[in-house]
Structure 1
Amino acid sequence: MDEKRLQYIFNHINNNKVNYIKDLSEVIRFHSISAFPEYKPELIHVVKWSQSFLRSMGFKSDVKFINYNIKENNIRRNNPHKHLTKLRYRQNQSFQTFGPPFLFSTLPNSKSSQPNNITLLIYGHLDTVPARKSDGWKSDPFILTKVKHDFYGRGVTDNKGPILAWMNAIRALIDLDICIPVKIKFFLESAEESGSFGMERILKQESSFFKEIDYAVISDNFCPNIKNPCLTYGLRGLIYFYLQIQSAAEDLHSGVYGGSVHESMAELVDILSKLSNATTGRITIPGIYDDIKSLTADEIKAYSNFDFNLEDYKNAVRSLGLLHFSKIEELSYKWREPSLSIHGIEGAYSGVGAKTVIPHKVIGKFSIRVASHQNVQKIKNNVINYITRLHEQRSTGNSLNVVIEDEVDSWLTNYKNYNFQLASEAIKRVYGRYPDLTRDGGTVPAAVYLSKYLKDPNNSLILIPLSYAADGAHSENEHININRYIMSIKSLVSYIYEIAKHHSSRSI
């Protein structure tokens, strides 16, 4: 495949823009929200739709579920993902009647006089975070809606759109009867937005699928600005906490009992306020920053040269203010230091109008993004010990319970490895410039879990973001720019071409 042939493929991609939009429209319509029990059937539907899409391209594609075989007394009774799995019991053993579906798909080498054994694995997730028009959407979040050059819908940028970009990049080669030089595998899940529930177990269960993976790509994070493509070599980890305070057996009338009892909400808000400094953003829990390494000279140079404007960033995310006043500080705190965010309170009245009630039990939800080199277990211990001490100092008599909902380690790789070099050349061919090399403040559990199963964990896995921070993932009015989307499909074809060129003895 020479440069002339690539241009031929790029023209084909340009001419199929309408078909790509149609595909996006179809997959967006599934309410595949993994957080809510009532949408369990939608997870099955979107996985089955993707299976049919891949099978139409010649993939062998199978839907898999987790096979449980564990003792009843080892099952977590407070599992926050219990809606994703229903267990029935037979004596001391359990077996699953439902769980999050996973899709395993393989496209063998195209017919060629010189088939090779190079395998490319592509990961993505088909579930989304919740969305309702009443949240502030300008249109129905599950109906793809065009506004100028952007298309709006839940999942267009995280992560259904990027998955379809990969599928359509491969389909372009198939439609043009161009031999694909590598074996392609898709591993798609449906519970990433619920902490990739069950992934570690399914990886062990289906470990043969992941043998001899030469290259692995995840397109499930975001470029910092809309001007430049990027490649990502580091992610923060995540620990998600439930902090429960209970003060009574049932809700109380504030007129009858207000001023005479210790209120659970008051204590919860007080403790939450002491976890971090709202002005500086610094976490106030002792020991959190113990393992953070100082910025190196190379990092300072890289951050200084990085094309990143604070005002543009502020406008892109529609923020009213930023915590930091220099580019180096903003990038450093975003990529390589921990952060604490308070997400909500369960059990408190949040409906329209007034309700003069004292909630008897409230649950504060917060998370810590874990930086590289930090020890997750140490952080958990520090958080629990600190909260317990704050609670004991109050002597309220209220009960305290701290539950870890999810935990994922950080991920960091060497951006000088050959996979990054191939991807950089591929992107330069399409965008006319090399991509920025970035870390990301977000968390992708698959990056941590999959690394253990790759042929060369230090060189195999790369993150190629196809979305941008300003696209509004997880927010109202999530959208994707169609012109950038078409360029992303071209860059993925270009990446496959670079792999073929790198293994030139088995060229197309």
Structure 2
Amino acid sequence: MAPKLDGYFKQVDKLSETFIDRLRKAVAIPSISADDDRRQDVVKMSEFLVSELTSLGAHVESRPLGPQPGKRDLDLPPVIVARHGSSPDKRTILLYGHYDVQPALKDDGWATEPFALSIDDKGRMYGRGSTDDKGPVLGWLNAIHAHREARIELPVNLLMCFEGMEEYGSEGLDDFIEKEAKPGGFFADADAVCISDNYWLGTEKPCLTYGLRGCNYYSVAISGPGQDLHSGVFGGSAQEPMTDLMRVLGSLVDTNGKIKIPGINEMVAPLSEEEKSIYGGISYTIDNLHESIGSTTGIYEDKENTLMARWRYPSLSVHGIEGAFSAGGAKTVIPAKVIGKFSIRTVPDMESGKVDECVFKHVKEVFAALTSKNTLDVQLMHAGNWWVASPKHWNYTAAAKAVEAVFHTKPDLTREGGSIPVTLTFEKATGKNCLLLPMGSSTDAAHSINEKLDRRNYIEGTKLLGSYLHYVAAEELGG
């Protein structure tokens, strides 16, 4: 039986300006985790959440994580954990979000002050953190608030985990989650996990995300001369590291995105007919791709291959070169050492260690074939694994019904090309299904200038989060 949600929906609408004011207060706190000088603002944001959650009747704890690695005089911001309800007769859902944000300055090109919420006549709410991830985090608080004001009991127990270092690599969080997921820990009785820290594929149709690619990031350093050289004096008489690096990097991937490293593509899980059938019904067009990339330089001419290339197949991207001349004008230098950076987005069933072996073997063989007198060093800089969940699990089927209740359409089932490492951490630590339930849309410009969250997405998204809890309570076991 579908839950009766009219009272909750009406209360969300009634409180909408209160919820927008809550977001305005949060955006005003410049909680930039990457800026040491803003650490007190990150802590201030954690205190704001503690105050708001406490006022809503939750049991809240601010958990210290100790000194930041490599910075003994600087403490990591606390993890905020909270519980609302503890009935043994209810399911318990663990929620995750983050309260830190990316750096932002008006001089970067913002049309408005980045830390002052600005709302235009189309309901676009501009401000750093509005969509990533303060809006979604506050959506959960709004849902609790609306239930309380409507005098509707929450149908599940809620556990919450809000961190302040996501934009700087979530330092200290993995160990914290693993500890708290063990018997007796704060997260021990979770039945499922829900994360709202991603986005719709487009602007009109909601989605549920059940997969993420991983990321292995590499550096290739080639060095020769003892110092930078003048090309007019030494060009043609000294072997040049940049020339070698270009040949190595050029051997990794072709113009159409095919990875040329032997053994990489052979690891990829085969495409099943069931999975293939999902892509045809997804609301997406090639025009959407062209709009997103700002040109018509997409590799494929059809939706299905484009989406599979983004989500379920690996990709290799070259990101930059350290040590080379990159300023405007002309400089005739031969750099003594250059470091190329590239990454491979990994997918099922690619094992990170085997990917590393293939990369190292290929790079060393290509360099050896150059018979260069320069020296090579290839390193893995960091790695994060891919993640795929079952969209047939009750956690997903409940969320799908909630989408239909609020937006009157079935959600797209999507994967994403990027990585949210904490998803896999929660899944492994708790052993429970994880759902990515986005609030924002594809045009929100997270991490960029003029980041925004549409008023519709924020208010209707609050309805969605609350509805999801009701459908979770009613959903039969499955998946």
TM-score, structure 1 length as denominator? Answer: 0.84
Alpha-carbon deviation of 1:294? 3.0
- Name the structure 1 match of 2:14: 15
Q: Within 5 Å, which residues of 2 pair with 1:355-366?
A: 357-366=333-342
- Name the structure 2 match of 1:154: 128
* Aligned mate of 2:70, from 86, 96, 99: 86
Alpha-carbon deviation of 1:37? 4.8
Q: Is the 8 A contact 2:213 2:419 kept in 1?
A: yes
> What is the CA–CA distance in structure 1 between the aligned matches of 2:472 and 2:273, rounded to whole Å?
33
Q: Within 5 Å, which residues of 2 pair with 1:458-477?
A: 460-477=433-450
> What is the CA–CA distance in structure 2 between the aligned matches of 1:353 and 1:38, rounded to whole Å?
35
Q: Within 5 Å, which residues of 2 pair with 1:429-448?
A: 429-448=405-424
- Name the structure 1 match of 2:48: 49
Alpha-carbon deviation of 1:488? 0.8
* 1:14 maps to amino acid: D
- Name the structure 1 match of 2:283: 307
Alpha-carbon deviation of 1:216? 0.9
> What is the CA–CA distance in structure 2 between the aligned matches of 1:249 and 1:32, rounded to whole Å?
43
* 1:404 maps to amino acid: L
The 3 A distance-change label for structure 1 pair 355 and 308 is same
Q: SS of the residue aligned with 2:194?
A: strand
> What is the CA–CA distance in structure 2 between the aligned matches of 1:281 and 1:52, rounded to whole Å?
49
Alpha-carbon deviation of 1:446? 1.2
Q: Is the 8 A contact 2:66 2:75 kept in 1?
A: no
Alpha-carbon deviation of 1:188? 1.9
- Name the structure 2 match of 1:498: 471
> What is the CA–CA distance in structure 2 between the aligned matches of 1:221 and 1:13, rounded to whole Å?
22
Q: Within 5 Å, which residues of 2 pair with 1:268-287?
A: 268-277=245-254, 279-287=255-263
The 3 A distance-change label for structure 1 pair 135 and 108 is closer
The 3 A distance-change label for structure 1 pair 189 and 258 is farther
Q: Is the 8 A contact 1:105 1:187 kept in 2?
A: yes
- Name the structure 2 match of 1:226: 203
- Name the structure 2 match of 1:125: 98
Q: Is the 8 A contact 2:8 2:152 kept in 1?
A: no
Q: Is the 8 A contact 1:123 1:187 kept in 2?
A: yes
Question: Alignment identity in percent?
Answer: 35
- Name the structure 2 match of 1:92: none
Q: Is the 8 A contact 2:46 2:80 kept in 1?
A: no
Matched pairs, number: 473
- Name the structure 1 match of 2:165: 191
Q: Does structure 1 residue 168 correspond to structure 2 residue 142?
A: yes
Q: Is the 8 A contact 1:104 1:185 kept in 2?
A: no
Q: SS of the residue aligned with 1:158?
A: helix
- Name the structure 1 match of 2:217: 240
Alpha-carbon deviation of 1:289? 0.5
* 1:452 maps to amino acid: K
* 1:313 maps to amino acid: L
Q: Is the 8 A contact 1:210 1:453 kept in 2?
A: no
The 3 A distance-change label for structure 1 pair 259 and 421 is same
- Name the structure 1 match of 2:315: 339
* 1:414 maps to amino acid: S
> What is the CA–CA distance in structure 1 between the aligned matches of 2:160 and 2:115, rounded to whole Å?
24
> What is the CA–CA distance in structure 2 between the aligned matches of 1:109 and 1:205, rounded to whole Å?
22
Alpha-carbon deviation of 1:357? 4.4
* 2:43 maps to amino acid: I
TM-score, structure 2 length as denominator? Answer: 0.88
- Name the structure 1 match of 2:23: 24
> What is the CA–CA distance in structure 1 between the aligned matches of 2:84 and 2:12, rounded to whole Å?
23
The 3 A distance-change label for structure 1 pair 105 and 437 is same
Q: SS of the residue aligned with 1:159?
A: helix
The 3 A distance-change label for structure 1 pair 46 and 348 is farther
What do residues 375-414 of structure 1 show as CA deviations (whole Å, max 9, x unaligned)?
Answer: 1111111112222223333344444333323211111121
Alpha-carbon deviation of 1:52? 2.9
What do residues 93-129 of structure 1 show as CA deviations (whole Å, max 9, x unaligned)?
Answer: xxx654543423223318xxx7635321111123334
> What is the CA–CA distance in structure 2 between the aligned matches of 1:439 and 1:59, rounded to whole Å?
33
* 1:198 maps to amino acid: G
- Name the structure 1 match of 2:81: 105
Q: Is the 8 A contact 1:9 1:173 kept in 2?
A: yes
Q: SS of the residue aligned with 1:210?
A: coil
Alpha-carbon deviation of 1:329? 0.7
Q: SS of the residue aligned with 1:453?
A: helix
Q: Is the 8 A contact 2:117 2:126 kept in 1?
A: yes
* 1:478 maps to amino acid: E
Alpha-carbon deviation of 1:322? 1.0
- Name the structure 1 match of 2:350: 374
* 1:22 maps to amino acid: D
Q: Is the 8 A contact 1:151 1:481 kept in 2?
A: yes
Q: Within 5 Å, which residues of 2 pair with 1:379-390?
A: 379-390=355-366
Alpha-carbon deviation of 1:229? 0.8
- Runs of 5+ in structure 2 lacking a partner? none
What do residues 30-89 of structure 1 show as CA deviations (whole Å, max 9, x unaligned)?
Answer: 444444555444433333333333233233333334469xxxxxxxxxxxxxxx4236xx
> What is the CA–CA distance in structure 2 between the aligned matches of 1:317 and 1:300, rounded to whole Å?
25
- Runs of 5+ in structure 1 lacking a partner? 69-83, 88-95
Q: SS of the residue aligned with 1:138?
A: coil
What do residues 179-200 of structure 1 show as CA deviations (whole Å, max 9, x unaligned)?
Answer: 2232212112233334433332
Q: SS of the residue aligned with 2:57?
A: coil
* 1:167 maps to amino acid: L
* 2:459 maps to amino acid: I
